[in-house]
Amino acid sequence: MNNSSPNVYRNYYRLRTANQWRKVQAESGEPGAIRPYLAGNWKMNMTPRSGLALAARLFDICKGIKDVDIGLGPPFTGLSTLAEYIKPDFLKAEYDIGRNVFLLAQDVFFESKGAFTGEISAEMLAAIGVDRVIIGHSDRRANLGKYFGFGSSVARRLSNDFLTQSLSRLKQKDDADSKAIMALEHLLAKENEDVLAGLASFLGGELRDRAGESDEAINRKVLAALEQGLQVIFCCGENREARENNETFKLLERQIRMGLEGVPQRLIHDVVIAYEPLWAIGVGAKPATHEQISEVHDFIRNLIMDLHGEQFAASIRILYGGNVKPDNIADIMTIAGVDGALVGGASLKATDFGQIVRFGLID
């Protein structure tokens, strides 16, 4: 195996001295050493066949790589096919890869069964060979409303015609709420046309941007996955508004405390945290700086230390996600609090993701 570049550790211990975290290089396979985790989230891309071809090309590039964990997260339709391909014995014989390749699901539902059309339970995922599940991804926390029509639906209900019909129906009821009638009459008054239009625009935009999975729903998913033996990649991160208003740490603390509430101590070691700043994700987005990533990872790790003690905080893996590329992964991995990456677009190209997995290695 080729040596890694100076100051870029592929296996390490983490120590805390003078209230600061730092990495100390370890040899691959040393007891207690932390292995970086590079996880590819394919999102809604790849058919089962094309996903299989991508995995094969990736493994060719990463032959013999055993000192990091590799996660592949295809859509639900590709999970079974990929599970059959990444059997440890086959990977060992074909690519000289150890038991360090893991199958990820991109989401899970919190109920075990029932009338929940379109949802997938943790038990179903475990049954087809899924190892880990991504929960609370920014796509689901923040973007659902943009696609599912929550904002436009509210805006339509604040139109003059809709409110006029609603007021008429309300007045016909014997037990009608007088305050509701007064409110509707006020909004429908001629002099309040601009107020009604502004309210519709404001609420429509707010719900479109904010409607997504709640902290409570994410917490239920985390508990359901862990109870079925699945490890969890728990995602958290702030939007642009929180960042600009200096509310990053407040938001992250709420997400982590609520999202991991009630996780039994015996299962907390099965949680990996991924920090995703929403403002640094997507085409054209400006990546977070080295300093921004470092301060947030330190905050998260110190919060985990308050919740579960210093020993666990030193070993829990906290990934970074947000425009991770082959040309910035080595720099990101020099940060003391970073233990890998949750990779989006770059994981769809075998050469790019292969270079990310091989970070720091001298060819």
Catalytic residues: 137, 276
Task: Give Cβ neighbours of residue 190 (< 8 Å, ≥ 6 apart).
Answer: none
* Pair type for strands 318-320 and 20-25: unpaired
What is the distance between the terminal CA atoms of the chain, rounded to a whole angstrom?
A: 10
Beta partners for 141? none
φ, ψ (nearest 5 deg) of residue 175:
-105, 30
For residue 221, the tally of other CB atoms under 10 A from its CB is 24
Tell me the one-letter amino acid at 141: R
Of the candidates 140, 126, 111, 110, the one whose C-alpha atom is nearest the C-alpha of residue 44 is 140
* Residue labelled with tokens 């790790």: 301
- Judged on CB neighbours under 10 Å (0-12, 13-18, 19+), 98 is middle
CA distance 30 to 39: 22
Q: In Å, what is the CA distance from 190 to each residue of 155, 187, 194, 224, 347?
A: 19, 8, 9, 52, 55
φ, ψ (nearest 5 deg) of residue 146:
-65, -25
151-164 burial code (b ≥16 CB/10 A, e <16): beebbeebeeeebe
User: Contact, 135 vs 232, CB < 8 A?
Assistant: yes
* Pair type for strands 12-17 and 20-25: antiparallel
Residue 159 sits at the vertex; the CA angle it makes with 156 and 161, to the nearest 5 degrees, is 115
Give the number of residues written for the chain: 363
If you count DSSP H runs as helices and E runs as strands, how many of each does the chain have, helices first? 17, 10
